Amino acid sequence: MVTDVSSTSTLLTRWEVGEYVSAIIVIVGVIGEFIADFTNICGVQIYQRRKDRLGKLSTLVLLVGLALELFCLARTNSLSGQEIAFLNTVAADARVRAANAEGAAKGFESKIAEAQRGTAEAGRDAEIARKNAEQIKLEAEELRKQNLVLQTDVLKLQEKLADRHLSPEQQKSISAKLSKYAPLPVMFALYSADGEMERIASDIRGALPSTWMVGYRRGSSSEGGFSGIRVELAKDATLDENSIASELVTAFKSERLTVSGPVTIRDAAFIGGESVITARIRITIGRKP
């Protein structure tokens, strides 16, 4: 087991890079299938054999990318658990050491009181004991500070690794801010959706007024590495639509979601997936930051 925080963090970073590389491989496979099925690049629509070869090769690349991404994700989760466990162990050890140091300091203070009632030699011993007690107090204070830093690091890491989520109270708060607007269709676009992205999309859907019509579109991103949530709207959006999009961004940010926008809808950046409704406002869901 890895027992050093810095080495664990280094490994964790490398596996996260592996996830991004796997995502790129997946995108390459998707692009290959797109070329084979919807374009005539290299004469794939004219020569059936070329089309078949490109389609099979793209499928293999896609499968390899998905397998690598799953493996990297599993390894990342494992290393994250090890790092959290190690930091908790270090924090607990620091608390024990601080308690022991405080007990030792009290013992030295008792010896000081006894030495003051003795001879001159006892007085010299008391001075030494007093200095030792002060040093131990300083060490105990330093240990407390280190413990606080470790606890803060653990909380930050746990918050970073936690899935995005909206509680029922947060959903009600967002819904109350949007209820003043008339019903309108809203599109959810999910890039390379995984379980966490589907869950946060479901939470956001639950926060929208029940009268709003909602559609979903799932596909992949040609931008690569998109993360967070983005509110988008049509180029020719009206003032009311701009107001609603801005209110969505404000409401999401008030519940501590990482969100950007409103920006113009980027259809060119979205590969695959179709929806049964047409919406002028779109909520695009990427990976968690």
Q: What is the pLDDT of residues 109-121, one digit of tens each?
A: 777 767 667 767 7
Whether the per-residue pLDDT at 153 is higher than 90: the answer is no
Q: Which structure tokens are listed for 271?
A: 């590969």
- Structurally, how many domains does the chain consist of? 2
The last residue of one of the domains, among 128, 162, 196, is 162
User: Do 158 and 177 belong together in one domain?
Assistant: no
Of 163-167, 236-240, 245-249, 270-274, the poorest mean pLDDT is in 270-274
In sequence order, what are the residues at sequence separation of 6 or more whose Cβ sits closer than 8 angstroms to the Cβ of residue 131? none
Region 171-175: what's the mean pLDDT? 94
The last residue of one of the domains, among 104, 137, 162, is 162
User: Do 16 and 157 belong together in one domain?
Assistant: yes
User: Do 154 and 186 belong together in one domain?
Assistant: no
Q: Is the pTM of this model over 0.75?
A: no
Provide the b/e sequence for 188-216 (b: ≥16 CB within 10 Å).
bbbbbbeeebeebbebbbebbbeebebbb
Region 207-228: what's the mean pLDDT? 77
Confidence bin at 159 (pLDDT 50/70/90) = low
User: Do 26 and 156 belong together in one domain?
Assistant: yes
Q: Which backbone phi and psi does 192 adopt, to 5 degrees?
A: 45, 55
Please give the Cα distance from 50 to 193 (Å, whole number). Answer: 31
User: Do 247 and 127 belong together in one domain?
Assistant: no
Whether the per-residue pLDDT at 269 is higher than 60: the answer is no
User: Do 48 and 72 belong together in one domain?
Assistant: yes
Strands 281-285 and 229-233: antiparallel
**Which residues span the domain enclosing 256?**
168-285
In sequence order, what are the residues at sequence separation of 6 or more whose Cβ sits closer than 8 angstroms to the Cβ of residue 264? 232, 233, 234, 235
Higher pLDDT, 247 or 158: 247
User: Do 130 and 178 belong together in one domain?
Assistant: no
